Amino acid sequence: MGMRRNGQLTAYLYFLHENRNQQVVRMIGKILGWFRKIFGKRKDLNLGIYGSPNVGKTTLANRICVDLTGESMGTVSPIPHETRKVQKKENMTLKFRGFRLMMNLLDMPGIAVKVDYRDFLEHGLSREDAQKRAREATRGVVDAVKSMDKVDAALFIIDATEDPYTQVNITIIGNIEARNIPVIVVANKIDLPNANTKRVRDAFPNYDFVELSAMTGENLEQLYSHIADKLS
């Protein structure tokens, strides 16, 4: 009889012990959940740089990268479609007049509706290399278009020395707008004598607008101010 009672007590204590363990496990799970809620929601912002080829996207990306991290991002070249893959620089911190923003910078390949390998032949590339570059550039265009679904904000770069009323420009801004992505229109290359920023501003009057030179760094502070204003 005594042994039976003893056995029941052992089973009861074992039950309590098991129950306690489950409670502890549940409590730890809850605490981890709180931590996840507090810290897990922190999502870095993806800032995409879009535009036609050779408008200065990588030059600007390099400038921003050097300013914020001290390192450059990609290579620039007078040959169109130098950037043929989406370049990503992660965990950059923009600190501007008390504003602090963690972001990933995405330098997109230039978007074009036609990629002709013969254009590269003029820059001294062999036929084979030119055809390879054309194929990679086209893939880059596809990647850039598809990545519009992944960015949280966009810089839309336009060469201020060129006509802004192009099919590509209108389509890019239309796609960004349709996705409700906050966008800043950037008229680049103001260091060049034939730059016409008024024409760019008139072409896209309803957007935040910055004119700058990615090459010299002129007006870059203004861009940071717009980013801070737009994304704060």
Partner 1 sequence: MHKCVRCGRAAASLEEIDSGCPCGSKAFVFGRYEPDLAGGNGKAEGSPQQYNAHISFASEDVENIKVLSEGVFVLNVKGLSRDPMVLKDEDGIYYVKIPFEQRMDGNKPEGNGKMKGEGAKKKE
Binding residues for partner 1 (CB under 8 A): 111-118, 131, 134-135, 137-139, 141-142, 145-146, 148, 168, 171-172, 174-184, 206-208, 230
Nearer to partner 1 by C-beta: 100 or 135?
135
CB of 66 to partner 1, least distance (A): 26
In the complex with partner 1, the residue whose CB is nearer, 73 or 176, is 176
Residue 74, SS3?
coil
3-state secondary structure of 166: coil
Q: How far is the CB of 216 from partner 1 (least distance, A)?
A: 26
DSSP secondary-structure letter at 147?
A: G
Q: Is the CB of residue 99 less than 8 Å from the CB of residue 105?
A: no
CA distance from start to end of the chain: 74
Residues 116, 123: contact at Cβ < 8 Å? no
Cβ 25 to partner 1, closest distance in Å?
Answer: 40
For partner 1, the closer CB: 220 or 231: 231
CB of 180 to partner 1, least distance (A): 6
Residue 110: name the closest of 165, 169, 162, 150 by CA: 169
Nearer to partner 1, 52 or 87 (CB): 52
CA 8 from centre of chain: 65
